[in-house]
Amino acid sequence: MNTEIPKQCTVLIIGGGPAGSSAATHLVKNGVDVVLLEKEVFPRNQVGESLIPHIWKYTDQLGVSEKIEQQNFIKKSGGITVWNNKIHQILFAKYGYTRPGLHVERDVFDQILLTHAQEQNALVFHKVVVKKFDFSKDNPVITYIDKRDTINYEGKINCRYVIDASGHSSLLAHHFDVRETVVSELKFLSLWGYFNHSRYVGVDRQSHTISELSKVPPVTFVMSYEDGWLWHIVLREKTSVGLVIHTDKLKGLDKVQREAFFKQSCLKLPYLKELLRDAQFIENSLQFRPDYSYYSRKTCDKKYYCIGDAAGFVDPIFSHGVQNAFYNAAIASLAVMQALKTPEKSARIASLCENRMQQFYSFSRSLSLGDYGINGVSPELVKSLIKSMPMLELELILVASEMTNRSENFKKIAHQAGVWERLSEQHYDNNNCCISDLHL
Ligand SMILES: Cc1cc2nc3c(=O)[nH]c(=O)nc-3n(C[C@H](O)[C@H](O)[C@H](O)COP(=O)(O)OP(=O)(O)OC[C@H]3O[C@@H](n4cnc5c(N)ncnc54)[C@H](O)[C@@H]3O)c2cc1C
């Protein structure tokens, strides 16, 4: 195993989450030499356990689907939401998806992706923290702290391209001062923790014990309540429960008070309290992400690309963070490969990629936060994306947005893009996912 960090490489990737590891795989598979620096030792904790079936097209491209299947993660057929007292159930199979969504332990899932990148020949170094950037020369120079030994060493690496996949740290967006917090009515934070022995919501709309998982597939359970919304995602041994609430709710609370607030909320909320009736909170599992919807005014340039959460993040109501990370990684890698072949066009390639990234993030923000035309969202980009989507995929988004009271956002965009009439006819003819019974 190579233990010495090279002094130079073609592409330097920061961060080994789904964005960084998948960009690394795409590049090395195409003969580009890659060094990936990751500050943690994997497996490392990460939230975001509900994956939609869209992810498979990316894992197929990466050649990692089989390794994921071998893990036997929990397969889910869809979701159930209780939003403003209306109950909806969505089944992916109704929208043409033949492969399931997953509930994954993200430490395990992310490690599979990163190990896969290594197996394809990406040079991956853990416990190495990127600290500084110098873009003043032809080739960017990155300064890192190598923490693998008892003494911390400072080192430098010279590369042709930097891909920032540092997640929430958004290193380059901070470096260039282009990171913006979304200004929205929906100014949320998230508080989440894990339980042992929770019951789960089955596809049959009943609650079950974890021992029944092999007989009755689960769904992701989401519910709105007066403070915001919550998720309940059953994993193989434990269950992830999160509250996404207005920032004011936790103002002035310290760590102990936040935990008390979390536990009290879990015990009093309808449906959730039934699911948790025999459950035990896993001590010290509570985590907290303040004020987390943000975006970057610039994500791509001649010498760098920001992907995944390093480029932007919105309320995770539609569970599409990992899918976004995969998508960005795929297009940024294509851009880098093209720029390597035709360096004289690298500015043009970066600007095309920027357009694509902004289009994708803008769509997510318009849908999840209602940011259509504000917060740097270009309605034209969003409209062109929506026009290019398959009808069935749009229908799934429409149904998902109706389950979560974000449908006004979606309808506005669909109207302006001129796809609404066709979509609504099809949708109301074929599907009504409102249900009346849920017995937890
Ligand atoms: C509360 C919440 C719930 C969510 N729920 C879902 C969900 O249900 N489904 C879903 O798909 N998504 C969900 N997400 C989003 C999802 O977790 C992210 O979109 C996804 O992890 C993004 O992947 P990434 O590779 O961009 O970043 P990350 O997974 O965050 O990886 C970034 C990596 O960069 C490393 N790093 C950071 N700084 C440095 C540095 N200086 N030097 C070296 N390495 C560094 C980190 O250690 C980390 O491993 C949720 C997010 C939140 C906050």
Q: Please tell me the distance from the alpha carbon of residue 7 to that of residue 219, in angstroms, as a whole number.
A: 48
Q: Please tell me the distance from the alpha carbon of residue 245 to that of residue 259, in angstroms, as a whole number.
A: 14
- Number of other CB atoms surrounding residue 4 within 10 Å: 9
Residue 15 has pLDDT above 70, yes or no: yes
**Residue with more model confidence, 243 or 96:** 243
Our answer on whether the CB atom of 308 is closer than 6 Å to any ligand 1 atom is yes
Alpha-helical segments (H) within 202-311: 255-268, 272-275
Q: Final residue of a domain: which of 323, 341, 375?
A: 375
Q: Please tell me the distance from the alpha carbon of residue 74 to that of residue 83, in angstroms, as a whole number.
A: 25
> What does the pLDDT look like over 304-347, one tens digit per residue?
999 999 999 888 888 889 999 999 999 999 999 999 999 999 99
Residues 41 and 172 in one domain: yes
Q: Report how far ligand 1's centroid is from the alpha carbon of 168 (Å).
A: 6
Residue 2 has pLDDT above 90, yes or no: no
The one-letter amino acid at 46: Q
CA-CA-CA-CA torsion for 212, 213, 215, 219, nearest 10 degrees?
Answer: 120
By alpha-carbon position, which residue is closest to atom 35 of ligand 1? 15
Q: Please tell me the distance from the alpha carbon of residue 194 to that of residue 283, in angstroms, as a whole number.
A: 8
Q: Final residue of a domain: which of 222, 257, 292?
A: 292
- Write out the residue range of the structural domain in which residue 133 sits: 1-47+105-181+293-375
Residues 222 and 314 in one domain: no
Our answer on whether the CB atom of 217 is closer than 6 Å to any ligand 1 atom is no
Q: Are the C-beta atoms of 303 and 135 separated by less than 8 Å? A: yes
Our answer on whether the CB atom of 101 is closer than 6 Å to any ligand 1 atom is no
Residues 299 and 362 in one domain: yes
CATH number at residue 302: 3.50.50.60
Q: Which residues pair with 206 in a beta bridge?
A: 439
Residue 21 in any domain: the answer is yes
Q: Please tell me the distance from the alpha carbon of residue 210 to that of residue 196, in angstroms, as a whole number.
A: 10
Residues 27 and 65 in one domain: no
> What does the pLDDT look like over 264-316, one tens digit per residue?
999 999 999 999 999 999 999 999 988 668 889 999 999 999 999 999 988 88
CATH number at residue 198: 3.30.9.100
> What is residue 183's predicted lDDT score, i.e. its pLDDT?
76
Q: Please report the beta strands in 202-348, taking only residues with DSSP state E, as ranges in sequence order.
A: 207-208, 220-225, 228-234, 238-246, 280-281, 287-289, 294-296, 300-301, 304-306, 312-313
Residues 73 and 218 in one domain: yes
> What is residue 181's predicted lDDT score, i.e. its pLDDT?
85
Residues 393 and 354 in one domain: no
> What is residue 3's predicted lDDT score, i.e. its pLDDT?
87
Q: Which residues pair with 396 in a beta bridge?
A: none
Nearest to 165 by CA among 311, 364, 58, 26: 311
Residues 386 and 262 in one domain: no
Our answer on whether the CB atom of 53 is closer than 6 Å to any ligand 1 atom is no
Residue 440 in any domain: the answer is no
Residue 166 alpha carbon, nearest atom of ligand 1? 34
> What does the pLDDT look like over 50-85, one tens digit per residue?
999 999 999 999 999 999 999 999 999 899 999 888
Our answer on whether the CB atom of 190 is closer than 6 Å to any ligand 1 atom is yes
**What six digits make up the tokens of 130?**
């990127």
Our answer on whether the CB atom of 130 is closer than 6 Å to any ligand 1 atom is yes
Residue 433 has pLDDT above 80, yes or no: no
> What is residue 427's predicted lDDT score, i.e. its pLDDT?
63
Residues 270 and 125 in one domain: no
Pocket test for ligand 1, best of 44, 128, 169, 285 (most atoms within 8 A of CB): 169
What angle is formed at CA 290 by the lines to CA 298 and CA 235, rounded to 5 degrees?
A: 100
Q: Report how far ligand 1's centroid is from the alpha carbon of 350 (Å).
A: 23
Our answer on whether the CB atom of 175 is closer than 6 Å to any ligand 1 atom is no
Our answer on whether the CB atom of 245 is closer than 6 Å to any ligand 1 atom is no
> What is residue 263's predicted lDDT score, i.e. its pLDDT?
96
Our answer on whether the CB atom of 17 is closer than 6 Å to any ligand 1 atom is yes
> What is residue 360's predicted lDDT score, i.e. its pLDDT?
87
Our answer on whether the CB atom of 48 is closer than 6 Å to any ligand 1 atom is yes
Residue 430 has pLDDT above 60, yes or no: no
Mean pLDDT of 167-190: 89
Nearest to 62 by CA among 26, 28, 31, 30: 26
Question: pTM of the predicted model, to two decimals?
Answer: 0.94
Q: Report how far ligand 1's centroid is from the alpha carbon of 236 (Å).
A: 21
Residue 47 alpha carbon, nearest atom of ligand 1? 17
Number of domains, the chain: 3
Residues 172 and 198 in one domain: no
Residue 5 in any domain: the answer is yes
> What does the pLDDT look like over 376-402, one tens digit per residue?
788 888 889 889 888 878 888 887 787
- Number of other CB atoms surrounding residue 145 within 10 Å: 16
Residues 145 and 32 in one domain: yes
Counting residues of the chain whose pLDDT is more than 70, the rounded percentage is 97
Helices (H) and strands (E) in the chain, counts: 13, 25
Residue 432 has pLDDT above 70, yes or no: no
> What is residue 317's predicted lDDT score, i.e. its pLDDT?
80
Residues 389 and 368 in one domain: no
Chain centre distance of CA 66: 21
> What is residue 368's predicted lDDT score, i.e. its pLDDT?
80
Q: Report how far ligand 1's centroid is from the alpha carbon of 247 (Å).
A: 20
Residue 429 has pLDDT above 60, yes or no: no
Q: Final residue of a domain: which of 351, 375, 399?
A: 375
Residues 261 and 399 in one domain: no
Residue 64 in any domain: the answer is yes
